[in-house]
Amino acid sequence: MSPTVDPREGASEIASVLVEALPYIRRFRGKIVVVKYGGNALAGAEGSEHDALQAFAEDVVLLATVGILPVIVHGGGPQIGEMLQRLGVASTFVDGLRVTDAATLEIARMVLLGKVNSDLVAAINTHGPLAVGLSGADARLITASAHDAALGFVGTVDTVDPTIVLQLCAQGLIPVVATIGADADGQQYNINADTVAGALAAALRAEKLVMLTDVAGLRRDPDDPSSTVSRLRAEELRELVESGAVVGGMVPKVAAVLHAVEGGCAAAHLLDGRIPHAVLLELFTDGGVGTMVLP
């Protein structure tokens, strides 16, 4: 005979979690939290990746339900690469950035706005009429210019006017921002999503910037998982960068984090987005699950 499980034990654990979360909910209520959700987590539409999207949508809706103001920024590099391959368009990279001519830009816009953005909006809106999709080109949210002439229509952020985002938040809506920006003449550019998230968090003076990655936080030694740092100041992070400890895909993420916290964002977090409900665990528990960077 199987041992009897006391249902009160499970209920007690749930109550403990809620009690632990309560002071954080009170602290962050009415505050903006910018979350950068990477295109890697959206690659595909079934299996664990589909489950990850649904779990992320649940996290975002819960934040909104308790009075926090989430703003989502997303990329879509893997999806753009897949579409280019399907269409037989060759990709050339310079320093890890895809050279983007006019045709490639059109495909990038189609994927980011027509696929990735709409998938995120749809996943959130299964819980209610909450999410609104937009790009950085809407309402002059992001004014951009060419990052490097050799890269074509790859952009860098010049200025951010967060008016449209603030208006949506004030209406209880969740902005979901695709990282397309435009210059004063209307020419559009595809911009690195980490860069956009950092710039937007600074412009909004957000309470939090949450960067979802595929590692469990920032490491002092890139090859040693046990060297993950749970908390550090911007100055310490700059020292890590100078020491060569920040490599590969973490470079633009760390640059975005530094831009955010040195520009008015109260704190930034680097999390492993593969952990179910990582956003909630980081924001609402004492231990957290990633690296927090303070000004």
Residue 220: what pLDDT? 83
The answer to whether the CB of 41 falls within 8 A of the CB of 53 is yes
Question: What's the alpha-carbon Rg for the chain, to the nearest Å?
Answer: 19
- Where would I find the H helices in 131-214? 163-170, 193-204
**10-residue averages of pLDDT along the chain (295 residues):** 54 77 93 87 52 88 96 92 90 83 94 94 96 97 95 96 98 97 96 96 97 83 80 91 81 92 95 84 83 93
DSSP E strands in 55-126: the ranges are: 69-74, 93-94, 97-98
Residue 262: what pLDDT? 95
Q: Superfamily assignment of 30-294 in CATH?
A: Acetylglutamate kinase-like (3.40.1160.10)
Query: Domain map of the chain by residue range?
Result: 30-294
Torsion over CA: 237, 241, 242, 245 (sign):
positive
pLDDT tens by residue, 96-123: 788 999 999 999 999 999 999 999 999 9
Residue 199: what pLDDT? 98
Number of H helices, E strands in the chain: 10, 16
pLDDT tens by residue, 180-228: 999 999 999 999 999 999 999 999 999 999 999 877 778 887 778 778 8
Residue 45: what pLDDT? 40
Residue 40: what pLDDT? 57
Residue 5: what pLDDT? 52
Residue type at 215 in one-letter notation: V
**Does the pTM of the predicted model rise above 0.85?**
yes
* Of 274, 257, 173, 265, the residue nearest 218 (C-alpha): 257
Q: What is the token pair recorded at 205?
A: 């003076």
